[in-house]
């Protein structure tokens, strides 16, 4: 059973590292701030969760497992908030490629705020 848990832990660690590497590559390759933000948050957070799960399985310590669970919860709470703040700042700062947006709710709001823009 110990060997099986070690193999599962190694697979989880490798999968987490691979996802984090893909997030880093996406951060370098994607064209604008919004797609970079998406590439950084989604796979990086899931990759971290896999690394934390693999670490918990490899160590088999309840105290460390509880700490890793707190780290995972904190990451799940803060990553969406940070991504939203970065996306909003990129949009308002003109760093977002608005031509690629499928739906732009902020453009309608900006037109309502500025009657002379119509």
Nearest one of 76, 30, 82, 72 to 51, comparing CA atoms: 72
pTM above 0.85, yes or no: no
**pLDDT digits over 38-93, tens only?**
888 888 899 999 999 999 999 999 999 999 999 999 999 998 888 888 888 888 88
**pLDDT digits over 7-50, tens only?**
999 999 999 999 999 999 988 998 888 888 888 888 889 999 99
At residue 104 the predicted structure's pLDDT band, cuts being 50, 70 and 90, is confident
The Cα 72–Cα 70 span in angstroms is 5
Asked if 68 contacts 52 with a C-beta cutoff of 8 angstroms, the reply is: yes
| Residues of the domain holding 40 | 2-117
The Cα 118–Cα 111 span in angstroms is 7
Q: Which residue's structure tokens are 């709470």?
A: 77
Q: Please give the span between the terminal C-alpha atoms of the chain, in angstroms, as a whole number.
A: 69
Asked if 106 contacts 84 with a C-beta cutoff of 8 angstroms, the reply is: no
Cα 49 versus chain centre, distance: 11
In this predicted structure, the answer to whether residue 117 has a pLDDT above a threshold of 50 is: no
The domain total for the chain is 1
In this predicted structure, the answer to whether residue 115 has a pLDDT above a threshold of 80 is: no
DSSP-assigned letter for residue 102: S
């Amino acid at each position: 059973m110990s060997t099986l848990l070690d193999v599962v832990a190694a697979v989880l660690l490798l999968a987490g590292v691979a996802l984090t590497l893909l997030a880093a590559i996406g951060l370098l390759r994607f064209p604008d701030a919004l797609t970079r933000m998406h590439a950084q948050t989604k796979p990086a957070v899931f990759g971290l969760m896999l690394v934390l799960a693999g670490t918990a399985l490899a160590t088999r310590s309840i105290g460390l497992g509880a700490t890793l669970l707190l780290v995972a919860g904190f990451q799940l709470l803060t990553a969406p908030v940070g991504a939203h703040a970065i996306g909003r700042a990129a949009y308002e700062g003109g760093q977002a490629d608005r031509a690629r947006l499928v739906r732009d709710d902020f453009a309608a709001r900006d037109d309502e705020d500025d009657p002379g823009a119509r």
